[in-house]
Structure 1
């Protein structure tokens, strides 16, 4: 049985045709994509690297990393989202990205230690067993390579901002996008990473200012956060 929640897949499949509409439900992802891309590229220059984006959805990050010069494989289990990603790559002429419908655990079994960098953004809070995903990410990356993950902190501040604020007050996301019980504290994610053979390099917080309607990276990990991990050489 794949590590997947069929209800979560259905939810994103219904919205698949809107992935590349920058004013749609995916507007926040388009807004934060330059921030996370530059953070990744600053730590691990992407040009010439072999990268896999796990839980790639419609390909927003995968496409951007390919345009930085990486050879990118985007994987997901949402068929409709992958079709949208493939179509966008054709329309945009992005020639260094490919997409495949496969579970990350199956990909890790097929291609262990094959990638210079692995990304898994905004996915862990949507799967039944995030520790299984971390183990697979650790298996996919080459010794000395990088793993980049992002998710939501399980905190009162996160409940207030990411669910009440973002989904019901500001309506940045559809109501029901997130389930608070599935949010992961940074300490829990760091433990999963250690158990997967990965070492924590650094962390960043992602915050949103409703007045300026801008996102920024900083040290506040109370809501959204990103971890940079490495597999020892």
Structure 2
């Protein structure tokens, strides 16, 4: 393992220990919409499921139709895993799924993982390796418009005591839907569906984003962890409120015509 991967491994162990990711992400509109999308996939499949980058196993908990297996890089995350239902959790690198026998799983989920991997084609090759013939896999990642990011700042993580040896940056890129399609085709997978999700974010977060930026500007002079977190909570609550109002009134149908793409990309494939 090279020094960069060792540093990132250490970083994700620290994130797993200190950052309550599921509690934060899935209280946001992005998380709610993503969870709804992934759950529809889980409801449509049967047989064994491998969740690559399973975090604490939220999707494994939801899945009802077969044996559940999860792979996660961070041991600290798995030590906090949900345990109300039987499942098999393994510390492993998403870029090396050859720790499993070929054709081991009926289905694979890889949600919001590929963008963290230095060698994404290795992840997709691993998915093709473990899938049984006829098996399905869903991959989701961030989308982008002009240029994808590569290394980004830690954002809110320092407020939770998280740092990173890579100049306080970590690897986080994005993929267009056609790029996910290309990766899948390169390893011999068949495309069922490709597209974007979380379109509602485009309109629902506009006004709250202005308030969020104002709060962050003020906090540059105050330096308060409490204000930072309160500001983020306010942004999330306002975004959800605007979404619900627009969805209830039907205004979302008009607003969505202005935004043909969502902030996430996905590809659904079959072996």
Hey, what does 1:171 align to over in structure 2?
none
Q: What SS class does the counterpart of residue 150 from structure 1 fall into? A: strand
Indicate the structure with greater helix content: 2
What does residue range 4-153 of structure 1 map to in structure 2 within 5 Å? 5-17=5-17, 18-19=19-20, 22=23, 24=24, 27-28=27-28, 31-32=32-33, 34-42=35-43, 44-46=44-46, 49-65=47-63, 68-85=64-81, 88-89=82-83, 93-95=84-86, 97-104=87-94, 106-153=96-143
Q: Which residue of 2 aligns with 1:186?
A: 177
Higher Cα radius of gyration = 2
How many residues are treated as equivalent by the alignment? 207
Alpha-carbon separation, structure 2, partners of 1:27 and 1:13: 23
1:109-146 superposed Cα distances (whole Å, 9 cap, x missing partner): 53111111001010111010101100110111111110
CA distance in 2, matches of 1:99, 1:221: 34
- CA separation of 1:25/1:202 partners in 2, compared to 1, >3 Å: closer, same or farther? closer
Instruction: Determine helix, strand or coil for the equivalent of 2:102.
Output: coil
Specify whether residues 73 and 193 from structure 1 end up closer, same or farther in structure 2 by C-alpha distance, changes over 3 A only. Answer: same
Task: Say whether the 8 Å CA contact 1:134–1:193 is kept in structure 2.
Answer: yes
8 Å Cα contact 2:104-2:131 kept in structure 1: yes
Distance 1:26 1:14, change over 3 A: farther
Provide closer, same or farther for how the CA distance between residues 34 and 40 of structure 1 changes in structure 2, counting only shifts above 3 A.
same
Larger CA deviation: 138-147 vs 12-21: 12-21
Correspondence for 1:202: 193
Could you tell me which runs of 5 or more consecutive residues in structure 2 were left unpaired when the two chains were aligned.
Answer: 157-161, 163-167, 206-237, 248-255
C-alpha separation in 2, matches of 1:139 and 1:21: 29
Instruction: Report the secondary structure of 2:132's partner residue.
Output: strand
Deviations 1:149-177 (Å, cap 9, x if unpaired)?
A: 00012324988xxx99xx68xxxxx9x88
* Secondary structure, aligned partner of 1:53: strand
Shift of 1:212: 4.4
Tell me, what secondary structure is at the counterpart of 1:56? Answer: coil
Q: In 1, distance between residues paired with 2:135 and 2:182? A: 19
Distance (Å, rounded) in 1 between the aligned partners of 2:106 and 2:53: 17
Alpha-carbon offset, residue 59 of structure 1: 1.5
CA separation of 1:7 and 1:39: change in aligned 2, threshold 3 A: farther
User: Which structure shows the bigger proportion of residues in strand conformation?
Assistant: 1
* Cα distance between partner residues in 2 of 1:51 and 1:125: 21
Preserved contact between residue 12 and residue 73 of structure 2 (Cα < 8 Å): no
- Gap regions ≥5 residues in structure 1: 169-173
Deviations 1:176-226 (A, max 9, x none): 88756x21222222111001111111134223223542599x994442122
